Structure formats: structure tokens, C-alpha cells
Amino acid sequence: MKTEQRSFNPASGWKVRSGGLAGLAPQFVLAFGGRHLLANPVALDEVRRVYPGARVIAASTSGEITGTEVTEDQLTVTAVALAKTRVACAATTVAGAAGSFAAGRALATQLLGPGLAHVFVVSDGALVNGTELARGFNESLPAGVALTGGLAGDGARFEQTLVGLDEPPVSGRVVAIGFYGGHLRVGIGSAGGWSPFGPERVVTKSAGNVLTELDGQSALGLYKNYLGDQAAALPGSALRFPLSVTPAGGGQPVVRTILSIDDQAESMTFAGDIPTGARVRFMRASYEDLIDGAAAAAGQTANGAEPELVICVSCVGRRIVLGQRTEEETEIVRDTLGTAAAVTGFYSYGELAPSGGSGACQLHNQTMTITTLSEA
């Protein structure tokens, strides 16, 4: 495997960051950048000019990761040339959250084929219900084929996210990459570092990823009481206080973050499902907790193979809490995994990875989720 990383700014043009393809043609390119930059056709036209034969997967972000550096509203590009692994891409579009399950099933079905070893997905982060998207993939992918990836971001604005495959990126788009063959080695890690606080409450009214009542009271009202002065900055301020959600029948809790609020309906829309009967608690974290979580995620990827490509998907909420210390979590990932691998990724509205010892993918919020790739 060979990788080459560049960045592009319309004002200054291209900058080669690291690596080199040694004359090999890349099969695919990961292009992550700010929404307004991706909406400008010049940027992606340049990517296709430099890498004319590669599939270009583009996604808007809440921050771009290259090595240990985190940038804002810059286009970062990682071209990947695999020597022994075949790659195929598939894309679909959803009009709203109700189409998320079908989108996952359709993409998984398109990618099915001999030797499918792994799937990486980049999804719209504003319209798609990540829980249902993952469920659609889980029901259609063969046993032993894991799914990882994330939901595109839009800074802390929560207005619109863009995803594209060989095209101008648009809202509602979901793109999946399938990797085929026995030479691919995949490592997966996902950890948060958040701690619950306050009383446990029961979800008494919800529909999919829209939460209305906790313990028979307005969920939005309770949330605003906890936030105090920060309530005026919703939904962005809620990124500092996500919810821990434990299913009614028990099981592994997951973290959920607000995408939007509706003051008139007194409801909150999350990146994934908040099922009725689930038990929830508010969460918070310190700088050190989050950095330790990133180290734990990197440690979980160990599979006996030296990683050649590291794809980090970290939640925008982590970036907001860490502030000027954000690059400490990318530095701990590099320290844990070594300096040989190319590191790319983005800050997201949701992360996709298996967890809790299960091979089934779940939507996560507020985690650092890492996928490592190498060839044997």
C-alpha cells in the first residue's frame, strides 16, 4: 500500500504533506473539507485533475485530520494505492431519516461479492439516522465483514452536510467503500472517555431519533435546565453534555448527541435512535478523559500488523471540549500507533464501528473511532 497526502486551498493551491505513490495509480481518494469549500467545484475539480483515475470520496467536516494536525475549512486529500486489494464503491441518496435503513441495505447489497473483507462508509450527517443506517448494513453484510466510518459534519453549525462520490457533493448522500481479498488487515477501535452524572431518567416519549419526554417531562426543558446560561446556544452547547443511552432490556450503553431542537414541539433530534423505555443520563468529560479515550481507541486497533493507513473519525463535541488542546488526541493516536502510517480523518456528527465485543456496527457519538488498514 502506498499513500500520498496533500492539502488544497483555492488561494494558495496544492501543498504536498506526506508520502508518495511511487508511480502507482491510486484506487481511491479521501477528500475531507469544510462545507463551503466543498461546495466550490474548483476544489474537487483539482482533485480529479491530479488523480484522474481514482474514485473520489468527499465529505464535509467539523475539522480535518492530517497526521497530528487538525485544520478548519481546508481540503485535505489522501490518495491510496493498494497493491493486493480490490476496491469497489457504491453510493445512494436519502431524502430523510426514514430512508436510512433502506440505504444501508442497498449499499451493502451492491458491495456483496467474493472476498469482501471490510466496508468503510461516509454518510450525510444531518438527514441520515445513523442507527438505522448501521442496522441496514448489519442485516445485509456477511458474518465477519465489519463496517466502520462516520457521519459528515458542518462545523458546529448543524445546517447542512455534503457527501459525494466522483461528483459535486450533496445533502443526503451516503458513500461506501468495499475492500476485497485476503491480504487486507483491518484494525478497529472506538472509545470515548465521557462519564455520566446526575439521576438516571427513562425515555417516556420518542420516535426514532426524536426525543420528546423523559420521566413524563419535557426532555428539552430538562436539558435547558441542565445547560443553564448555555441553553441559548443550543444545539451547539449540547455537545458538551451528551446523553448515555442504555436500552430498556439492558446491554451496552451508547452515547448520543443532539443535532437539532424544535422549541415549538419541545423535542430534540439526535444522530441516532433514542428508544422509548431506554434509560438515559447526562454526561461530561475532562480534557484528560477525552485524550485517554483516544489512546484507548488506538490501542484497540492492534491486530499484529503494522498499520499503513489510519482513518480517524472523532466527534465534533470532543473538539469543542478540547478546544486548543484538540491536537493532543491526534498526537496520542500517532504516539500509540507509530509514525510510519499515514493518518487522515475528520471531526464528525457520528461515528460508526462495532463495540462491546459484538461484530455488529453501531452508531456512536462523542467517540474517537479509528480504522487501520494494511496489506500482508
Q: Which residues pair with 156 in a beta bridge?
A: 154
- pLDDT of residue 356 exceeding 70, the answer is no
Helix or strand (DSSP H, E) at 187: strand 184-191
What would the pLDDT profile of 52-79 be if each residue is shown by its tens digit?
999 999 999 999 999 999 999 899 999 9
Sign, CA dihedral 310-316-318-321, equals positive
Contacts 24+ apart (CB under 8 A), 43-50: 43/8, 43/10, 43/75, 44/164, 44/168, 44/169, 46/8, 46/14, 47/8, 47/75, 47/77, 48/166, 50/6, 50/14, 50/77
pLDDT of residue 357: 66
Question: In 3-state terms, the chain is what percent helix, strand and coil (to 5)?
Answer: 25, 40, 35
Kindly give, in sequence order, each residue whose CB lies less than 8 Å from that of residue 97, ignoring residues fewer than 6 positions away. 127, 128, 129, 132, 208, 209
- pLDDT of residue 315 exceeding 80, the answer is yes
- pLDDT of residue 358 exceeding 80, the answer is no
- pLDDT of residue 139 exceeding 90, the answer is yes
d(CA 363, CA 373): 21
* Residues 153/348, Cβ–Cβ less than 8 Å: yes
Specify the higher pLDDT residue, 60 or 157.
60
d(CA 199, CA 197): 7
Provide the residue type at 338 as one letter.
G
User: For the whole model, what pTM was predicted?
Assistant: 0.91
What would the pLDDT profile of 17-60 be if each residue is shown by its tens digit?
899 999 999 999 999 999 999 998 888 999 999 999 999 999 99
Specify the higher pLDDT residue, 259 or 213.
213
The backbone torsions φ and ψ at residue 11, rounded to the nearest 5 degrees and listed phi first, read -80, -40
Q: 25: exposed, middle or buried (C-beta count within 10 Å: 0-12, 13-18, 19+)?
A: exposed
* Residues 209/274, Cβ–Cβ less than 8 Å: yes
Q: Which residue has the cell 486497533?
A: 301
Indicate the Cα dihedral angle 239, 68, 29, 6, nearest 10°.
120
- Average of per-residue pLDDT values in the chain: 94
The backbone torsions φ and ψ at residue 342, rounded to the nearest 5 degrees and listed phi first, read -80, 130
pLDDT of residue 311: 98
Least confident range of 117-121, 179-183, 254-258: 254-258
- pLDDT of residue 310 exceeding 70, the answer is yes
- pLDDT of residue 158 exceeding 90, the answer is no
Cis ω on the peptide bond leading into residue 168 (within 30° of 0)? no
pLDDT of residue 90: 98
pLDDT of residue 69: 96
Specify the higher pLDDT residue, 85 or 283.
85
Give which of 342, 375, 358, 363 is closest to 4, Cα–Cα.
342
d(CA 147, CA 361): 6
What would the pLDDT profile of 243-279 be if each residue is shown by its tens digit?
999 999 877 888 898 888 999 999 999 888 899 999 9
d(CA 101, CA 323): 34
